[in-house]
Amino acid sequence: MKNKNSIVAEFIKHSLIAEQTQYSVDYRKGNKSQDALLAIRDGLKDDPELAKEVFDELLLHDNPYVLYVCSVYAIVLDHRKDDAIQMLEKIADMGNKLTSFEAKTALELVESGELFELHGASEKNVMETDNKMDLLIEVHERIEEYSKIGSILKNPDKLTEWDKITFSEEEMSALKATEFSSHSINGIEKIISERMLTLFFNFFAVVDGVGDPKLRKKEDVWLGFRLENKTEENDKGDENFLHDQLFEAYSKWLELKSNNP
């Protein structure tokens, strides 16, 4: 792979040729430059650091067509996507005939997701298939882990700091008085595991939008919830984490339950 300066120079040269041939109708020359630009894109895929340096410089260029092409490739390669979209919006409003039209078309393709399909890429900010599967596998791992409650049943007075359970005196006495066999514990753990799996299944149905939150106002339309990958660019580090909000939601849930007996 060439160095940054030579790549930037080559990118600009072929972008300008591609722009000129749109008006001169020299398709053969234009196609060669488009192929050269695609080759640069493919080479930058495997070198994110170099891609960053190249796009950071190209996005400072003053030619609208150069900015149009580099913005499209920056979006496809997931570098400064927000800046690149804003650049396309600016070019689309320039009234620069063909280039403005192409920028507007590119924005529509970004919105529909077709831009990534055309360039053989996946939209990076949307959770990819492998990551989704990793998350779902983690659900099964946690179900197996947290359904194992044999030690709690046998020693209810020896809870760990993570076991947020408060037993009444009657409950504690009843548990201590019960002699749980390995078979009874296995049966109880199977019940818990199955119920937890059903819980997650129905929860993800609500997330996917094929189910509705039970305590949501009926007149409000629920379309679901979208999970996204974090990247260095969109990870602001100041979001409200769901695992923290879960405890806040508990008091709100109690309030809703009391108002909807």
State the Cα torsion 127-121-65-36 to the nearest 10°.
Answer: 150
Tell me the pLDDT of the chain averaged across its residues: 85
Q: Is residue 197 part of a domain?
A: yes
Give mean pLDDT, residues 35-60: 89
pLDDT of the residue at 125: 47
Measured distance CA(33)–CA(75) in Å, rounded = 20
CB 22 within 8 Å of CB 98: yes
Lowest mean pLDDT among 24-28, 66-70, 200-204: 24-28
Is residue 124 domain-resident?
A: no
Domain of residue 233: give its range.
129-259
Q: Are residues 114 and 133 in the same domain?
A: no
**Residues 149, 107 within the same domain:** no
What would the mean pLDDT of 79-90 be, rounded to a whole number?
90
pLDDT(45) > 80: yes
Cα torsion at 45, 47, 53, 57 (round to 10°)?
-30
Determine, yes or no, domain membership for 69. yes
All residues at 6 or more sequence positions from 114 whose CB lies less than 8 Å from its CB, including other chains: none
Tell me: do 61 and 103 sit in the same domain: yes
Q: What is the pLDDT of residues 90-127, one digit of tens each?
A: 999 998 778 999 999 999 988 888 888 777 655 554 44
The larger pLDDT score, comparing residue 240 to residue 25, is at 240
- Confidence (pTM): 0.50
pLDDT tens per residue, range 218-227: 777 888 887 7
38 and 109 in a single domain? The answer is yes
User: Is there a domain that residue 196 lies in?
Assistant: yes
Mark whether 84 and 63 lie in a shared domain.
yes
- Shared domain check, 245 and 140: yes
Number of domains in the chain: 2
pLDDT above 90: percentage of residues in the chain = 41
Question: CA–CA distance from 75 to each of 16, 83, 168 (Å)?
Answer: 20, 9, 58
Instruction: Quote the DSSP letter at residue 128.
Output: P
**Which SS3 state, helix, strand or coil, does residue 228 take?**
strand
Instruction: List pLDDT tens digits, range 130-154.
Output: 678 888 889 999 999 989 999 889 9
Residue where a domain terminates, one of 73, 93, 118 = 118
Same domain, residue pair 137 and 255: yes
Question: What CATH number is associated with residue 18?
Answer: 1.25.40
Question: pLDDT tens-digit profile of 156-210?
Answer: 888 776 677 889 999 999 999 999 999 999 999 999 999 999 999 999 999 988 8
68/104 Cα distance (integer angstroms): 10
**DSSP label of 126:** B
CA distance 135 to 133: 5
165 and 195 both lie in a single domain: yes
Choose one of 90, 118, 146: the last residue of a domain.
Answer: 118
Residue 123 included in any domain: no
| Residue 72 token pair | 């499209």
Could you give the C-alpha distances from 215 to 182, 200, 210, 253, 255, in angstroms and in order? Answer: 39, 17, 16, 8, 11
Residues 65, 106 contacting (CB under 8 angstroms): no
Please indicate, yes or no, whether residues 151 and 243 belong to a single structural domain of this protein.
yes
Q: Which amino acid belongs to residue 226?
A: R
Question: Are residue 52 and residue 155 in the same domain, yes or no?
Answer: no
Of 88-92, 233-237, 246-250, highest mean pLDDT: 88-92
Domain boundary among 64, 92, 118: 118
Position 126 scores a pLDDT of 46
